[in-house]
Structure 1
Amino acid sequence: MQMTTPTPETQHPVRQGIAAGTSIGAAILLLTVGVLQIFEGISAVIDDELFVVGVEYVYKFDISTWGWIHIVLGAILVICAIGLMTGSTWGKVAAIIIAALTIIANFLWLPYYPYWSILIIALSIVVIWAVSTWKPADTYE
């Protein structure tokens, strides 16, 4: 990899502070989304009578199955958050991919728990934005 001389724009301390803050914020948000997904999954697995949906729902899975899907997604999100906190490239890529999968899963979960799903979708969008706009200080263009 060829390194070029940093320009004044990339060396600006405010920009670097924003980049660092964005990366930390994205990792914390990703961790938060992961933990919330795990809690959502646990509540669906333990008490599947908690969630009620109308009879005309297209995506028919057992509530316990949805619970396990959310638990697995949450655990992967937590692992990605740890990778993102270390600043690894795999952490950034995995965070974006898994956050996108989380948006899809929560879209399908909307009839069961709409407000919770909308919250998780919104947080996942913020995570994708933060991770995709962050440029670490050691990579200059």
Structure 2
Amino acid sequence: MSDESLVKQGVAAATSMVAAIVLLTIGILHVLSGVSALMKDDLVVAGPEYIYQFDTTAWGWIHLVLGVIVAAVGVMLFTGATWARVGAMVICALSLLANFLWLPHYPWWSVVMIVLDVFVIWAVATWKPGYEERL
């Protein structure tokens, strides 16, 4: 193995642990966003007509359920198991989609969440657990 490969995998492993923390954070933020939409409908900005319109309560439940699932997958990602990595990529893709559809309500919040989702997908996709142990 080249030194460059070792460095890349070391960075990928560290980045994946950070990705697990970020995924847990994304889940918590989804839950908070969902609770906010459920408790105070008037806190959610009603933007212009948009093709993907849901009631604020529906958005609240979507974010709440998605947040719980994202946080659970984030915790499981600490194990480094293949199923957890695949699950993290799938759930981040769903989170990315939900945040894209949430864009008209809170554009900056959605863009930040989309960037975090892309980071987690990249980090998890580039990590090969156990690579350092084969040396």
- In the superposition, the TM-score normalised over structure 1's length comes to 0.85
Unaligned runs of 5+ in 1: 1-7
Partner of 1:117 in structure 2? 110
Pairing of 1:1-141 with structure 2 (within 5 A): 8-9=1-2, 14-138=7-131
Question: How far, CA to CA, are the matches of 1:46 and 1:131 in structure 2?
Answer: 34
The question of whether the paired residues in 1 share the 8 Å contact of 2:12 and 2:123 is answered with: no
Task: Choose between structure 1 and 2: higher helix proportion.
Answer: 2
Question: How far, CA to CA, are the matches of 1:20 and 1:125 in structure 2?
Answer: 17
The question of whether the paired residues in 2 share the 8 Å contact of 1:45 and 1:63 is answered with: yes
Give 1 or 2 for the bigger CA radius of gyration: 1
- Pairwise CA distance, 1:51: 1.2
The question of whether the paired residues in 1 share the 8 Å contact of 2:16 and 2:120 is answered with: no
Q: How many residues align?
A: 133
Partner of 1:4 in structure 2? none
What is the aligned-residue RMSD (CA, Å)? 2.0
Question: How far, CA to CA, are the matches of 2:108 and 2:5 in structure 1?
Answer: 40
Runs of 4+ residues over 6 Å off in structure 1:
none
The question of whether the paired residues in 2 share the 8 Å contact of 1:83 and 1:90 is answered with: no
- In the superposition, the TM-score normalised over structure 2's length comes to 0.89
Q: Secondary structure at the match of 1:49?
A: helix
The question of whether the paired residues in 2 share the 8 Å contact of 1:37 and 1:74 is answered with: yes
Unaligned runs of 5+ in 2: none
